[in-house]
Amino acid sequence: MLRNALRKDLLLNARHLWGILPWFLWVAYAMSEPDAGRITAVGAAFIGALMATTMAAREDKLRTSATLASLPVSRRTLVEARYLVACIVGAATYLIVVVMAAALPWSVQRAAELVEPRTLLLTLTLASTAIALLMPVVIRYGLLGVMVFLGAFQVLGVAVMVAFEFFGLRSAVGIFRVVERSIAALHQGLNQPVVIVETAAVVALATWLSFRLSVFLAERRDL
């Protein structure tokens, strides 16, 4: 059952994933810049996972969720398939960037640097976090939930920047620098066993809680 549900998600929603093509065009351009490969690879996995997560919202929009729920397959299995699709798409987009780093003649990014353990772990952490946060919202509220979720983040970002300016703190740009430094610090720390174990535990717990919540919401949703 899970294999059929997974196959359904990948085949019926394949065209939905073409929206990531502009990112790969940017990757092709950015490969001529030093260290751009890591950023674009991690970004590709993050965006790919997010786009795959919104497939459930697309099914709501096309009125197919009710049809799927009427089939002889549990809603838990449908949720499992959606989590697996998001992981598969995230991994596939990352692999494409690795191949581009190896194949493009103007690339200064070595493909071997993109498959370093700590870079892979950072990618897994960020992509898994995105899936864990967004999937329950998508399953419960559909496309409206996606729009509200992303809009809330934008409003929060604007509010924080206004607060920085109002209280005379450095610059709103500093917020992004803090985020950038935090991600860079995590990337550096992921070559230490303690950091790896702690990060893996947090990501695994967040994913498990997200999955259980998604199943709970899916089973109680009236379609």
The pLDDT tens digits for 174-217 are 555 666 677 777 778 888 888 889 889 999 999 999 999 998 98
What's the pLDDT score for residue 133? 87
Pick from 52-61, 63-72, 100-109, 155-164 the range whose average pLDDT is largest: 100-109
Residue 86 has pLDDT above 70, yes or no: yes
d(CA 38, CA 123): 9
Other beta carbons less than 10 A from residue 207's beta carbon: 17
Q: Which residue has the higher pLDDT, 18 or 122?
A: 122
Other beta carbons less than 10 A from residue 39's beta carbon: 16
Average pLDDT on 161-166 reads 60
The residue extents of the domains of the chain are 2-220
Question: pLDDT grade, residue 63 (50/70/90)?
Answer: low
Rounded to 10 deg, the angle between the 117-166 and 193-220 helix axes is: 70
pLDDT, tens digit (0-9, with 9 covering 90-100), for 173-184: 555 566 667 777
The dihedrals phi and psi of 221, each to the nearest 5 degrees, come to -80, 135
